[in-house]
Amino acid sequence: MTAARRSRQAWLRSADDGKNTHVVAIDVEGRRITRRGLLAGGAALALGAAEARAARAARAGQRPRHGWEGRGRRGPGDWPMPAHDLAATRDGAPLDGSAERWRASFPGGVPATAAIADGRVYAASAQGAVAALALGDGRERWRRELGTAQYGSGDGLRQLGFFGGVAFARGSVIVASDRVFSLDARSGATRWVTTPLRTATSDDYFWGLPAIVGGLVLIGSGSGAELPTARGRLTAYRVADGALVWSTATVPEGANGGGLIGPASVDPRAGLVYVATGSPYQAVSGANPGTCSLLALRLRDGAVVWQDQVFPDDTHGFDFNSAPVIVGRRVFATNKAGIYAWDRIRRRRLWNRQLTDPLAGGATVAGPTGGPEGGPIATDGRRVYVLSNDAASGGCVAAALAPADGRVLWSTPLPAPSFGAPALAGRQLCVPAADGNLRLLDVERGTLVATVALGDPSSAAPALAHGRLVVGTGAAPFLPGSALVCIG
């Protein structure tokens, strides 16, 4: 049976040789995903009730109060995971100032978010280095050179180090490239290393940023070289020893794409994990189920509970690139075509808002300078803050949206595109940019508060803790830069 024929079928969850490998469930006849056939009625009602209870505990429109949204923190005010917390709010502590405090060298650049815990900063480079530095003065405590993984060949050869962020939990530092490493936070010594997910047909690489919950590390992957035979996955490992717990494919066997670029978000009370998927690596006839979708999975076993495919038959590269951000009963995510919102209790799409044209100038495929790039979304519970690159002007638009209906509360044009997610520092929105600057905007009006020179382009989302902000520059071979910069 061809991949095209497989992609037209209604796929139900299945196990593959007892390895806890799951196929997504989808009803493609109407090109809208349904719950029918996914769960027995009682189980579906139980999950829905759990979602509703969790939503009531963190009602939309209220600022998170560090309940389940903040679980996973090591200490008050720390930034232990790439998206800050399990709801992926990227909402951190206020910044004490905008002066550069220290700068550390990371050849190849730091393309993703650092972790801050116990007075230390943990960062990973595109050339495979992981280091711990003192938050106060940047003094290096330890550094490990873990190398790169090779993907592709010839002109398409890639040497990939760490493009996902760093997570901290239980005295361990978690990073991932073609495999997952757990390092001792005090010494840098290796605690465990997983076996790569690669197979003969899927060159898996962990682009997704790690999230840690309930003794599990959740990390999303996709193809390292965009092989048309590769499938996206969300994989769960035990924090204690790195043992594989489950691994769920985002698209059916025989299909391709659906890679995970942003981190997973988790509602522990409902026992659900949310991820947003990318486009097909190679378009095939039919809906390409599981691509360009929001998926909700069961935390305990990775089974897909429900999903919504936003762009069937995608040929424009309209990847979802952010973590799904949880605010009460709503969940939000950025796609190259804009910002989308769902009611996760009723399991339906609510609204979408496009701030810029991802196909400006007659482009047929969305590039990095058009539309949201790098998962650019954050929230304080009262507003959803997003960035959208504007290829027509060569800049970017920063905006605050009303969670209920996507109404634009303010919109500010910026002079350079952004390739990373923003972060909230109290009343300021921190925006990294490709022109080598970090801009601080007032969250109430969107006005520019300060511009901080980083020296080189940044694709990393900032991390904030204890009045300090740390952000990386560079992402070899894509962007120049080789530093981790601390501001405060």
pLDDT of the residue at 50: 52
Q: Which residues contact 244 (CB under 8 A, 6 or more apart)?
A: 20, 194, 235, 236, 237
Query: 294, 276 in Cβ contact below 8 A?
Result: yes
3-class secondary-structure state, position 51: helix
The alpha carbon of residue 84 and the mean position of all alpha carbons in its chain are separated, in whole angstroms, by 11
Residue 6 inside a domain? The answer is: no
Tokens at residue 201, please? 């047909």
What single-letter DSSP state applies at residue 64? P
What single-letter DSSP state applies at residue 154? G
pLDDT of the residue at 155: 87
Q: Which residues contact 78 (CB under 8 A, 6 or more apart)?
A: 116, 117, 118, 168, 465
Residue type present at position 181: F
Residue 7 inside a domain? The answer is: no
Strands (E), 161-292: 167-169, 172-176, 180-184, 190-193, 204-205, 211-213, 216-223, 233-238, 244-249, 265-267, 272-276
| Whole-number Cα distances in Å, 229 to 21, 164, 275, 319, 326 | 16, 22, 21, 17, 32
Residue 3 inside a domain? The answer is: no
Query: 408, 365 in Cβ contact below 8 A?
Result: no
Tokens 């830069």 appear where? 481
Residue 277 inside a domain? The answer is: yes
Query: 357, 336 in Cβ contact below 8 A?
Result: no
Tokens at residue 72, please? 């996973």
Element (H, E) at 428: strand 428-432
Per-residue pLDDT in tens (0 to 9) along the chain, 488 residues: 333 333 323 322 332 333 333 333 323 223 333 222 323 333 433 444 455 555 554 444 344 433 333 333 345 689 999 999 999 999 999 999 999 999 999 999 999 999 999 999 999 999 999 999 999 999 999 999 999 999 998 988 999 999 999 999 989 999 999 999 999 999 999 999 999 999 999 999 999 999 999 999 999 999 999 999 999 999 999 999 999 999 999 999 989 999 999 999 999 999 999 999 999 999 888 899 999 999 999 999 999 999 999 999 999 999 999 999 999 999 999 999 999 999 999 999 999 999 999 999 999 999 999 999 999 999 999 999 999 999 999 999 999 999 999 999 999 999 999 999 999 999 999 999 999 999 999 999 999 999 999 999 999 999 999 999 999 999 998 899 999 999 99
Query: Around Cβ 52, how many Cβ atoms within 10 Å?
Result: 15
**How many folded domains does the chain comprise?**
1
In this structure, the strands spanning 204-205 and 211-213 are: unpaired
Residue 434 inside a domain? The answer is: yes
3-class secondary-structure state, position 216: strand
Domain of 478, in residue numbers: 14-487
Residue 4 inside a domain? The answer is: no
Q: End-to-end CA distance of the chain, in Å?
A: 59
Residue 9 inside a domain? The answer is: no
- Measured distance CA(137)–CA(158) in Å, rounded: 34
| Whole-number Cα distances in Å, 438 to 121, 387, 421 | 19, 13, 12
CATH number for the domain that contains residue 418: 2.140.10.10
Q: Any idea what the Cα angle at residue 359 is, between residues 477 and 347, rounded to 5°?
A: 95
pLDDT of the residue at 333: 98
Residue 8 inside a domain? The answer is: no
pLDDT of the residue at 18: 32
